[in-house]
Amino acid sequence: MKEKIIRKPQLGTWLEGLRKEYEIWAPVKKNGLVLFHPIESAKEIHFDFSNTKKTAKDLFFPQSEVLFSFRGGEIEKEADMVLEKPRIILAIRPCDAKSLALLDKVFDSEDYQDPYYVERRKGTLLLGMACTHPQTSCFCTSMRSGPFEKTSLDLLMVDLGDDKYLVEAVTQAGKDLMGKDGSFEDVQEKDRERLAKVKKQAEEKIKSKVVIEGLEEKLDKIFDSPFWDRVHQRCLGCAICTYLCSTCHCFALLDEGVNSREQRVRSWDSCMFPDFTLEASGHNPRISNRERMRQRVMHKFNYFVKNFGETACVGCGRCIQNCPVNIDIREIIEEIENEQPLPS
């Protein structure tokens, strides 16, 4: 029962059965934005979207969260790490699901396990929706991914364009979800033919191609290049590229007073902010946008590769779509490929 068909009118029945055991999050359109929200009915789901404005990252690594409260140096209450109810994230795009595999390397490695992140990951199943209509800013196929990528997913759903979804179980947990309901039908040969056609069309729509082979080594050679003097000029330092990125994970820890007690808060931060590297002495090693832009690019395509063997980018294109001054990471990568290293 690896692949099955569910007809779109039956989706609500299936999800209603799953809601007895799981909290379900899905893309919902509110105030013009498509974001992940808990749903009570399949009617709330907004399926007509290319990708959500924000990623599902903050369902595992929240934009701001209280870790514990304390008084007089003694911890009074730690945050609950275990989810109240297991949850399902429905219709997550393959690129965003893959980004969680990259975040796993940071927050759930052999050397360090973040208990808050780890418990949320354990308590969540990912039901992906294949990306059949990629945007012009997408370049996932260059990032060793694609619109039908299955990394981190438990199920992958594909809209066949009529009244059907083809649903493929990727893990045993995903297979179990399909086994809880009688709404599924066997896959017919015409469904497989349609699947192959839809997949081919989706991949052909991704016209953007960048070359990342050898990029790590090239960045090593141009660290002090005048290239960085030029490439940062338009950057405003607003950090929207990092806040909407599915793999960026910088954070700050702050203690704040609340009703005669204190609490430790973890909040997203960004290497694009001037204060991110400001030291208590007043010295700042990344004094301008030049150094900060270089850090962002180096982290994604050099440091992360050295540490974890993969590029910290999934090619979702959010940074391209949302940059107020139209900085395009694809163009930066292309320029790096053509940049000549300084003579030694």
Nearest residue to 60 (alpha-carbon basis) of 77, 78, 83: 83
Residue 231 CB contacts under 8 Å (≥ 6 apart), including other chains: 293, 332, 335
User: Which residue in the block uniquely carries the two structure tokens 């590029």?
Assistant: 311
3-class secondary structure, 75: strand
Residue 117 CB contacts under 8 Å (≥ 6 apart), including other chains: 60, 61, 103, 107, 108
- Judged against a pLDDT cut of 70, whether residue 31 lies above it is answered with yes
206-143-205 Cα angle (round to 5): 5
| Residues 172-222: tens digit of each pLDDT | 999 999 976 778 999 999 999 999 999 999 999 999 999 999 999 999 999
320: phi then psi, degrees, rounded to nearest 5? -75, -45
User: Which residue in the block uniquely carries the two structure tokens 């204060």?
Assistant: 275
pLDDT tier for residue 344 given thresholds of 50, 70 and 90 = low
CB 160 within 8 A of CB 201: no
| Residues 106-164: tens digit of each pLDDT | 999 999 999 999 999 999 999 999 999 999 999 999 999 999 999 999 999 999 988 99
Kindly report the pTM of this predicted structure.
Answer: 0.93
153-162, 234-243, 332-341: the lowest-pLDDT one: 332-341
- Judged against a pLDDT cut of 80, whether residue 271 lies above it is answered with yes
The secondary element (H helix, E strand) that includes residue 218 is: helix 215-221
Tokens (6 digits) for 195: 């699947």
More confident residue, 340 or 144: 144
CB 119 within 8 A of CB 82: yes
332: phi then psi, degrees, rounded to nearest 5? -65, -45
3-class secondary structure, 69: strand
Tokens (6 digits) for 190: 């015409």
